[in-house]
Structure 1
Amino acid sequence: MSPPDGYSINTGPSDESEDSEPLIKSGAVPPQCCSARLNLAMLMFLGFSVVYGLRVNLSIAMVAMVNSTDPEIVDNSSVAHACPLPARPENTSEALQQPEGTPQYPWDSETQGWLLGAFFFGYLCTQIPGGYLAGHYGGKIFLGLGVLGTAALTLLTPLAAKWGSYWLFALRALEGVGEGVTFPAMMAMWARWAPPLERSRLMTLSGSGANFGAFVALPLTGFICQKLGWPAVFYLCGGAGCFWAVLWFLLVSDDPRTHRRISEEERDYIVNSIGPQGTGHGWNVPLLPMLCSVPLWAIIITQMCSNWAFYTLLTSLPTYMSNILHFDLQSNGFLSAVPYLGSVAAALLSGVVADFLIERNVFSVTVVRKIFTLTGLLLQAVFLTAVSYAGCDHILTVTFLTLSSSLGGTSAPGVYINQIDIAPRYAGFLLGITNTFGTVPGVVAPIVTGYFTEDHTLAGWRKVFWVAAGINTGGALFYTIFGSGKVQPWAVTYES
């Protein structure tokens, strides 16, 4: 059915804006199967799978890189109140042995926290400039080079570790610099490629590559560490990133107008449905109105709150599995990854449902974004709290962690794609801004976790989960009050 009179395809039924855009009747919509826009989403999915693999592999490899038998690293008296060691022989320290000659390092808990957070120091630096330049020039070159640069640097990880923790810290920070442009570039590309009524499912599909990458990388890293030694992890992951970059540059175009293999029907559908918002924003951006925009600040605050829990689990969950629950390295990788698979499924399903609700005029864009954000963040907080009281029960802990991450994935079509609703033309730049703030927890959370868990006790980890749950809840409430899905007045673009 076609939208009612006066209804812009770029907004929900009650989200009126001054932006007038061409309307596309449902009969004129070309199929999504095997389309150029779906192929782009799938290639982005694989790209973010790779970059998140590059991001999280250190979390598992750290267990193998650190000499945990060094008396200066592990004080037996300090872990007296943690979970008892299991009696099964496969879960003893023998499982941590690697091929002969694999180096290990005497890094304490605090040093490990700094190394796990190092990536985000660099990641903070390139979000805003990456989003700004991608919005002007297009996102293809920045997303491709971001992945390629991060992958190339990953190949140097074993050498940096050999030189010392300061060198490894610097290398990880440089990897963050390269990867920092990737998500803003993705958003800038979708501003030109995603028809408004397909935004939720296309963007959640491409962004779900992050969780899928974590799901694959965590158990694979544990397996490689045991069979080939931890240096092989970084060689293989880095090589995969370089291979993906070649495919990206060969197959992708910044704009549907310049794509060599897109059908004329699909090209016209995308261009007409997006309208004048699907163009570069030029060199000038309305900085002051952005700074004063309450809906933008709602996205910023909420992403910071949500990312605290996300980055806490991403960087520290393997340590919890190893030091507290005493899983062997391979089991550690698999069980740390299970929650991310559930998150992928929840995000993809939520994206389809969100588009359905908007397309059928069930709810406005604003209401849809708030429903999925509130649901995802609150349910994640509930089960994070439950984890803190699961104690040494392995089954309950894994179950609660899986439910927390899986249900948290329902927020994917909520606050995480809201930039393109309020300012489509500036979406890449806005994502750079919101991701810069949202990355602060990536720097702080591993360090705070390191301080809370210096004595390796359940009480210390309980604080970690409680803090994450409380911050998540605050973010959900803030977005529910101040979030919006309307195109903001300062972002309206008219056909010249």
Structure 2
Amino acid sequence: MPSRTEAKGVEAISSDGNLSTVHAQTSRKERPPVDSQDGWNGTLQQSEAMAPVYDWGPEIQGIILSSCNYASFLVPIPTGYIAGIFGAKYLVGVNLLLSSVLALLIPLAADAGVLSITVLRIAQGIAQVMVFTSQFSLWVKWAPPLEKNQLINIAISGHLMGSFITLLIGGFLCQTKVWPSIFYIFGGIGCAYSFLWFLLVYDDPIHHQFISAGEKEYIVCSLAQQGCSPGWSLPIKAMIKSLPLWGILVFHFTEFWIFNILVAYLPTYINSVLQANFRDSGILSALLLGAACIGTILGGLLVDFLHSRKIFRLVTIRKLSTAIGVLVPSVVFVSLHWVRFSFSASMGLLALSSVTSTFCQTGALVNILDIAPRYTSFLQGLSEVFAYSSGAISSTVAGFLISQDSEFGWRNVFLIAVSINMSGLVFYLIFGQAKVQDWATEQMFTQL
């Protein structure tokens, strides 16, 4: 890795951001309201002449957008286990390259039909899960305990930043050029970045050729004191009985239910409910993700400050962050139906939700590194099984509800999501802990 102060595992592209912007355009043939910008009609007619338009309703969109999660839940556990034993550098690099190549093929798959693009998205989802899961084994070897929250949040913010850039640029490309260029541009960037990954990234500081001796010694010594050497055996029975672990896993399912809906449908919501044109919906969606990116970084800094100064216990920090990240967005999503006629109020609430929801990243979503650092890769993979299973269900359910009732569909989507998210919060607050569990210590050698 280049340095402990740099993000070390972020993806270069966000195909979900690309697809959600494109679907807001290609699934609808009607024009935006008459008060749109001058010149829109001419631009739209030119764009429709240059690029194909698909008559995909909300149900089809839900299937396509959630298809990347259909087989993803099969991948994290073996990926996490393999990355924990053999390292993550090449596992991340190869799958990042594969995901980028598949992004280049999405326009061709869309022309071939719904089945083709669904199959391609399934393959791309598997590759992206392997990238995201593998990177956590790097943090076990690179992140000093007092800097862990900050570094992980910087890396996670890269995902949000990728979505921010693709939505921002994608909104313009959908209006001014042709939507396939989005995938060609960002697929190409992803391919280029994957080669830089192979050149610049190292599995641990010991083998890094350019890191200073002082920094190397600091990282190695701080991790040695934590006692987080990777575990080769897995205490499966103890894991199954661990309520703190179940608290984290259940929360991953409930939190990613609403997260996947927002990633998939946010541009569509802004376009169809708030009546913004395609370009503006892309820009506004991007700004919300940009706010979330900033909130993620600042949240990591705040938690590290509170932890290092011992202002709160770590378990208090985790639970407080998680509660803020769930309660404030829940109030927002319940309120959206009643303020939908006010564009500024709706966008203000969505911005508040985007920023506060990032507090979960410094709460339950990184809690595995506290309770079982030896098994971070494997357990992170297990948590993603719950997260991607949730994503496969939630986007499909959202598409069905929206298609059944155009007026109250969005309200039902948000109310169900809030109910599920709140149940996960309660479960985590009851059982969550932030100390290394007995089954995750060096002294325990229960075999798989």
Task: Give the TM interval when normalised to the shorter protein.
Answer: over 0.9
Q: Quick check: 1:437 aligned with 2:391?
A: no
- Shift in Å at residue 226 of structure 1? 2.1
Question: Which residue of the partner structure matches residue 276 of structure 2?
Answer: 327
TM-score normalised according to structure 1 size = 0.85
Q: Quick check: 1:38 aligned with 2:5?
A: yes
Of 363, 370, 390, 2:339 maps to 390
Could you tell me the percent identity over the aligned residues? 34
Tell me how far apart the structure 1 counterparts of residues 122 and 19 of structure 2 sit (CA, whole Å): 13
Question: One-letter code of the match for 2:183?
Answer: F
- Shift in Å at residue 429 of structure 1? 0.9
Of 169, 173, 177, 1:224 maps to 173
Tell me how far apart the structure 2 counterparts of residues 477 and 393 of structure 1 sit (CA, whole Å): 32
Tell me how far apart the structure 2 counterparts of residues 142 and 89 of structure 1 sit (CA, whole Å): 46
Of 218, 229, 253, 1:279 maps to 229
Question: Which residue of the partner structure matches residue 4 of structure 1?
Answer: none
- Shift in Å at residue 93 of structure 1? 6.3
- Shift in Å at residue 65 of structure 1? 2.6
Q: Does the aligned pair in 1 maintain the 2:43–2:176 contact within 8 Å? A: no
Question: One-letter code of the match for 1:165?
Answer: V
Taking a change above 3 Å as real, the CA distance of residues 481 and 86 of structure 1, as seen in their structure-2 partners, is: farther
Of 55, 58, 82, 2:19 maps to 58
* Counterpart mapping for 1:65-464 below 5 A: 65-69=26-30, 85-88=33-36, 90=38, 96-97=44-45, 98=47, 100-275=49-224, 277-282=227-232, 284-455=233-404, 457-464=406-413
Q: Deviations over 1:7-48 (max 9, x none)?
A: xxxxxxxxxxxxxxxxxxxxxxxxxxx971113x2x43xx33
Q: Deviations over 1:35-84 (max 9, x none)?
A: 71113x2x43xx33x24x22321011112333525xxxx9xxxxxxxxx9
Identify which range, 447-456 or 306-315, moves more after superposition.
Answer: 447-456
Tell me how far apart the structure 2 counterparts of residues 129 and 407 of structure 1 sit (CA, whole Å): 33
Tell me how far apart the structure 1 counterparts of residues 37 and 164 of structure 2 sit (CA, whole Å): 26
Aligned residue pair count? 443
Q: Quick check: 1:484 aligned with 2:438?
A: no
| 5+ long unaligned stretches in structure 1 | 1-33, 75-83
Q: Does the aligned pair in 1 maintain the 2:249–2:383 contact within 8 Å? A: yes
Identify which range, 464-473 or 403-412, moves more after superposition.
Answer: 464-473
| 5+ long unaligned stretches in structure 2 | none
Q: Deviations over 1:110-168 (max 9, x none)?
A: 11110111111132221111111111111111221221111011111111111111000
- Shift in Å at residue 304 of structure 1? 1.2
Question: One-letter code of the match for 2:328?
Answer: L
Taking a change above 3 Å as real, the CA distance of residues 155 and 340 of structure 1, as seen in their structure-2 partners, is: same
**Equivalent residue of 2:424, what SS?**
helix
Tell me how far apart the structure 1 counterparts of residues 416 and 354 of structure 2 sit (CA, whole Å): 16
- Shift in Å at residue 234 of structure 1? 0.8
Q: Does the aligned pair in 2 maintain the 1:122–1:180 contact within 8 Å? A: no
Tell me how far apart the structure 2 counterparts of residues 345 and 398 of structure 1 sit (CA, whole Å): 17
**If you compute each CA radius of gyration, which structure gives the higher value, 1 or 2?**
1
TM-score normalised according to structure 2 size = 0.94
Q: Deviations over 1:303-342 (max 9, x none)?
A: 1111112111110111112222221111010112222122
Q: Does the aligned pair in 1 maintain the 2:16–2:65 contact within 8 Å? A: no
- Shift in Å at residue 391 of structure 1? 2.1
Tell me how far apart the structure 2 counterparts of residues 351 and 225 of structure 1 sit (CA, whole Å): 35
Identify which range, 168-177 or 222-231, moves more after superposition.
Answer: 222-231
